[in-house]
Chain A
Amino acid sequence: MTDTAYNFAYLDEQTKRMIRRAILKGLAIPGYQVPFASREMPMPYGWGTGGVQVSAATLTPDDRLKVIDQGADDTTNAVSIRKFFERTAGVATTEATAEATVIQTRHRIPEVPLTEGQILVYQVPIPEPLRFLEPRETETRKMHALEEYGLMHVKLYEDIARHGQIATAYAYPVKVEGRYVMDPSPIPKFDNPKMSDCGAIQLFGAGREQRIYALPPWTQVVSLDFEDFPFEASKADAACDLCGAENSYLDEVITDDAGGRIFVCSDTDYCRSRREAGFVGAQGEEQVA
């Protein structure tokens, strides 16, 4: 049931138009951070207010929404945001990646390749990839404008000097269409290749920092690296103990007090559909059809 005290998807139409303009500008300049007037949302910033505003401006009554947090549909954050849009927009929701038209995510890209017609909305805490080494906003803007990105490699250099390899595992910086360097939000670097040449529209919303950026479908996204330390989309060297998947991103889960642990797909929908299709991992149980 839609709560009639609110406009469709909570935000008023004028705000949505403002956000849509920022989104369109972002799509026109892939990877460029577009400032926007972020609104107060009825949830704390850490909960992805940037992503929620982008989703609100994107949703139509016919959409089917999926919300994930760390790959899972059933975590508190994902459940709250899904409920929020069920109440304020009355849209249908789903856990099946392929059936969703809009997917809001925190920290993951679904395993099933996204296709044209889908929109993936990322929640972004810190949109500025250069922030780590250059705290001055005036300076980072200039660096983007003039394509002065040497500093990004200084960060990777420091990583290797300290850890013997590029230890950055999340929010791994990328270059978009050979132009803007972009922070992909704290997704694991395993997901980075999925951003490139993707059929879906990818939108990034940072609420506290008031920035929106975007990747139109089929955009080239390249992870930064060194010739002698090439980028690797690494994951735990194991298969999912429930569904046996060898190429999905895994979470390590502690199963008992005796230090027992298993690896399971972080994408819960992916894991469940594989098990339903009859795949079984080392610790999994045969599904009764």
Chain B
Amino acid sequence: MKSLGDALFPLTPALSPEGRGGAQVASGAAVPPAGPLLRVEEIGKRYGARIGCAEVSFDLWPGEVMGIVGESGSGKTTLLNCLAGQLAPDTGRVMFDTRERGMVDTVTMSEPERRMLGRTDWAFVHQHARDGLRMNVSAGGNVGERLMAVGARHYGQIRDRAEDWLGRVEIDADRMDDRPTAFSGGMQQRLQIARNLVTGPRLVFMDEPTGGLDVSVQARLLDLLRGLVREMGLSAIIVTHDLAVVRLLADRLMVMKDGHVVEQGLTDQVLDDPQHAYTQLLVSSVLQV
């Protein structure tokens, strides 16, 4: 645990502003062409007789952002929770490219190992900030928690890192010792993002990160997310109702209906030339507004 913490700690400040992970490979460094970061195979989850999601398969490559759209009840959250280890799927495998052992099925790995991933290489941004924050702990403490969880034991350094991250999500340093209860919804969501990204995760899961926010607040958050994704070369899976969100953030898009993936492809292709009747309806209903 300590050794992983030590290994992680120096990683994050060195995050290159060069852009997506894919670009690093292309730049001709001695990095071997890696396989997918995440390989999802035939994931299915039922709630009794009701289908949550079924037969979902896809690969996520390093540095790639996958958007998942679909109407309410189509299985987006169910799928995301299965992928992120928050819900046990009934069928299928979720292979993740771990640091130590390469591709490992996170569904069947031991719980300690999965929880370790959950606070190091994975991050989860909840729709409701209060589900992802400790509301009785200061903003600085919220950001510092993941650092302390992997062994950081120097108060001054933890504080510096927290301050740096609050700055990156546009929260004033003088709000650092305030609790999230004193923050607006948009600030809480930005704090949640900082808290998740501070350890330099390799894969971020987001469930409606802009949901429940005012339109102008949404726009600012989206801008910020886009900057972070580009700057850190984040790999991410983003669930949303909002096609504008995927247009801005996602390289690829998956459209879900009744628990099934009905169409997937490059975001622009899917949005500009939808093949499936349901996707056509989804796109037209939004774009005509």
Give the interface size bracket for A toward B. 10 to 19
Contact of A228 among B137, B144, B154 (CB under 8 A): B154
B177 touches A154 (CB 8 A): no
Which residues in chain B, 140-161, are within 8 Å of chain A measured between CB atoms? 140-141, 144-146, 148-150, 152-156, 158-159
Against B, the Cβ 8 Å flags (1 = close, 0 = not) of A147-162 are 1101101100110111
Contact B141 A150 (CB under 8 A): no
Q: Which residues of A contact B159 (CB under 8 A)?
A: 161
Let me know if B154 and A151 touch, CB within 8 A: no
Supposing A133-B134, A161-B141 touch, asked if A229 and B155 sit within 8 A by C-beta, the answer is yes
B148 adjacent to A227 (CB under 8 Å): no
> For chain B, which range describes its interface: under 10, 10 to 19, 20 to 34, or 35 or more residues?
20 to 34
- Residues from chain B with a CB closer than 8 A to the CB of A229 are 155
Map CB proximity to A onto B1-16 as digits: 1 under 8 Å, 0 otherwise: 1000000000000000
In the complex, what distance in Å separates the CA atom of A162 from the CA atom of B140? 11
Q: How far is the CA of A162 from the CA of B159 in the complex (A)?
A: 13
User: Do the beta carbons of A150 and B137 come within 8 Å of each other?
Assistant: no
Residues of A within 8 A of B149 (CB): 148, 150-151
Q: What chain A residues lie within 8 Å of B275 (beta carbons)?
A: none
Please, which residues of chain A bring their CB within 8 A of the CB of B57?
Answer: none
Cβ contact within 8 Å between B137 and A133 = yes
B136 in contact (CB, < 8 A): yes
Q: Please determine whether A154 and B1 come into contact, CB atoms closer than 8 angstroms.
A: no
Within 8 A of B (CB), among A136-150: 146-148, 150
Q: CB distance A228 to B156 under 8 Å?
A: yes
- A161–B140 touching, CB < 8 Å: yes
Indicate the member of B115, B141, B150 with the most A CB atoms within 10 Å: B141
Q: Judging by beta carbons under 8 Å apart, are B155 and A228 in contact?
A: yes
Q: Is the CB of B153 within 8 A of A157?
A: no
Q: Which residues from chain A sit less than 8 Å from chain B, CB to CB?
A: 133, 146-148, 150-151, 153-154, 157-158, 160-162, 226-229
> What are some 22 contacts across the A-B interface (CB < 8 A)?
A133-B137, A146-B111, A147-B1, A150-B119, A150-B145, A150-B149, A150-B150, A151-B148, A153-B148, A153-B152, A153-B153, A154-B141, A157-B148, A158-B141, A160-B155, A161-B176, A161-B177, A227-B154, A227-B155, A228-B154, A228-B155, A229-B155
